[in-house]
Structure 1
Amino acid sequence: MEPRPRSFYILAVFFGLFLVFLYGPTITIAILSFQGPGGGLTFPMRGTSLHWFRDLFEQQAVGDIWGSFSRSLTLGLMVMVTTVVVSVMGGLAFRKRFRGSGILFYLIITSLVIPSILVSLGVGLIWSQSGLTVHWSTSGFGAQLTWTLPFGLLIMFAVFNRFDQSYEEAARDLGASPWQTIRHVVLPIIASSLIGVALFGFTLSYDEFARTLLTSGSYNTLPLEIFGMTTNVTTPVIFALGTLTTVFSFLVIALFLTIYWLAGRRRARRGSDAGKGLV
């Protein structure tokens, strides 16, 4: 076996440092969240316990942790569903060239390079000047869509650019209607991409701060609540909250990966059954 070149070890050390840089802050917060009742916000730790996790489930003197969590979860699901539906519709629409499609495409992408805080300010002003109530479920929802929809549309553009239209032609030759073709042919083929768009939509919404800052109204989402806690909470309870929200994020990712895996197995089983039927 040939020895590895020196460059391999140099790159391995560089990659290890990158992982420390990427996950070090999260690991540090997780460690500090397990301090004893007399713990502080810095090292050295003062004992170990689950005290601050239990404190999260008790009545808090400041903040509305679980209310903000429920709002972020609800908003994330709203944004996720809307992003998936609109992205699929947009991807289908852009499969054929139409007048103004190029300009429309660049207008969609432009929202990604506009500073998020300006988007938040603009959406908030539109709502307030129109006499509408600035609220996380309306103006906040709209502001976050300016962030998630371009990503979803870009994914769908890439998917449909590689999509083999012969499957649709075969379905139409067999008498399928346009809706049946989309439902039974197109959507099952792009199912894995839809799961990716859904994950993008939910995670981008769940932890979005800047675009929600001036559009949430009187009720905070979880990122805004955590930011507010940094100014008046001086105990490791904020670290415990950060640890739980990180675990929740990983659980969401694991859920989507499980759905993707199950969908892949289902497609493989259908393909196997179809092959046996032909034999």
Structure 2
Amino acid sequence: MSARRPRSFYVLAFLFVLFLLFLYGPMISILVLSFQGPEGGLVFPMVGVSTHWFERLWAGGGQVEIGAALRRSFALALVVMVLTVTISVLAGLAFRRRFRGATVLLYVAIASLIVPSIVVSLGIALEFRLLDDAIKAVGAVAGIEWVQTGFVSALGPFTSGLGAHLTWTLPFGLLIMFAVFNRFDPAYEEAARDLGATPWQTFRHVTLPMIAPFLIGVAVFGFTLSWDELARSSQVMGAQNTLPMQLAAKTTTVTDPEIYALGTATTGGSVLLLLVAFTLISLMQPRRKRG
């Protein structure tokens, strides 16, 4: 006979279900409300079921101008992803060897995680305003015409914005790669060198295939953290909004479910990226085991 579950099991299960509803309830509500009919509003009950708001969002010209902000956020997230993966791998390789000041450098690299995001954004914005003043002063002294007539600010998505996003994504990438290389068995690399492989061949044919699944994880971290970032973007993008900033700006004026459709679309993009990453990792596992 099977033993009956204690009453505490059902109490804890009920609390767990409440936790899941609290965690995913808002996202599910937005997903459902984004599929309302043309007469739908921002709250329940739903008025019809259709893809009207997605069609309006795709066509443009509605309350949420998605095109330029989406392309800007996507391009910035790609650049952040590539830089995060590259710098994280290089730093992980460097920290495999002990050198003076390594501990201090590590703490400095991950310190931005404990600093409030809005403070980081304000600090970077202040730095670039000082840089703007310096550029204008040099332009005036040197008589550089384009600086005097056309230069406005160095603030932008791929200058100050890129730096702000890297302060958020790089610490995660570094911590992941440090953990990976801390468990990495150097015997494989030694065997490759014994067989006559050069350092580059050892890295390309031995090290890189073994750490490839973790690089996919770092890439996903870099892309999604940049794609969704708002606080660190708020003061550093200049006149060009990213998609999260556009969303935040429109929440005070939107009166229809178009913004829900945008939220569903962006969330779906993030989920799709995660599914692709897990698929690639699962496809790599048999090859890594055979190797």
Instruction: Mark yes or no: TM-score above 0.5.
Output: yes
Secondary structure of the residue aligned to 1:164 is: coil
Contact in 1 for aligned 2:63/2:258 (Cα 8 Å): no
User: Where do 1:62-73 residues align within 5 Å?
Assistant: 62-73=63-74
Could you tell me which residue of structure 1 aligns to residue 157 of structure 2?
A: 136
Quote the offset at 1:6 in angstroms.
Answer: 2.9
User: Where do 1:40-59 residues align within 5 Å?
Assistant: 40-59=41-60
Could you tell me which residue of structure 2 aligns to residue 27 of structure 1?
A: 28
- Cα RMSD of the aligned pairs, angstroms, is 1.4
Quote the offset at 1:10 in angstroms.
Answer: 2.4
Contact in 1 for aligned 2:80/2:165 (Cα 8 Å): yes
Amino acid at match of 1:138: T
Could you tell me which residue of structure 2 aligns to residue 208 of structure 1?
A: 229
Instruction: After superposing the two structures, state which structure 1 stretch, 53-62 or 191-200, moved more.
Output: 53-62
* Whole-Å separation in 2 of the counterparts to 1:70 and 1:199: 18
Give per-residue Cα distances to partners, 1:9-31, cap 9 Å, x unaligned.
Answer: 22222221111111100111111
- % identical aligned pairs: 58
Query: Structure 2: any 5+ residue segments left out of the alignment?
Result: 133-152
Could you tell me which residue of structure 2 aligns to residue 196 of structure 1?
A: 217
For 2:283, which of 239, 259, 262 is the aligned residue? Answer: 262
* Whole-Å separation in 2 of the counterparts to 1:177 and 1:98: 23
* Whole-Å separation in 2 of the counterparts to 1:58 and 1:192: 38
2:246 is the counterpart of 1:225: yes
Structure 1 length-normalised TM: 0.92
Structure 2 length-normalised TM: 0.89
Instruction: After superposing the two structures, state which structure 1 stretch, 257-266 or 175-184, moved more.
Output: 257-266
Could you tell me which residue of structure 2 aligns to residue 152 of structure 1?
A: 173
* Whole-Å separation in 2 of the counterparts to 1:69 and 1:12: 40
> 4+ residue stretches of structure 1 with deviation over 3 A?
none
Amino acid at match of 1:79: V
Amino acid at match of 1:175: G
- In the superposition, relative to structure 1, how do residues 190 and 59 fare at CA in structure 2: closer, same or farther (>3 Å)? closer
* Whole-Å separation in 2 of the counterparts to 1:167 and 1:45: 60
* Whole-Å separation in 2 of the counterparts to 1:96 and 1:59: 53
* Whole-Å separation in 2 of the counterparts to 1:181 and 1:119: 39
Quote the offset at 1:143 in angstroms.
Answer: 0.5
* Whole-Å separation in 2 of the counterparts to 1:113 and 1:181: 37
Secondary structure of the residue aligned to 2:45 is: coil
Amino acid at match of 2:102: S
Quote the offset at 1:158 in angstroms.
Answer: 0.8
Contact in 1 for aligned 2:84/2:219 (Cα 8 Å): yes
* Whole-Å separation in 1 of the counterparts to 2:6 and 2:123: 54
* Whole-Å separation in 2 of the counterparts to 1:30 and 1:200: 23
Quote the offset at 1:46 in angstroms.
Answer: 2.1
* Whole-Å separation in 1 of the counterparts to 2:165 and 2:279: 26
- In the superposition, relative to structure 1, how do residues 126 and 100 fare at CA in structure 2: closer, same or farther (>3 Å)? same
Amino acid at match of 2:215: L
Aligned length: 270
Quote the offset at 1:267 in angstroms.
Answer: 2.5
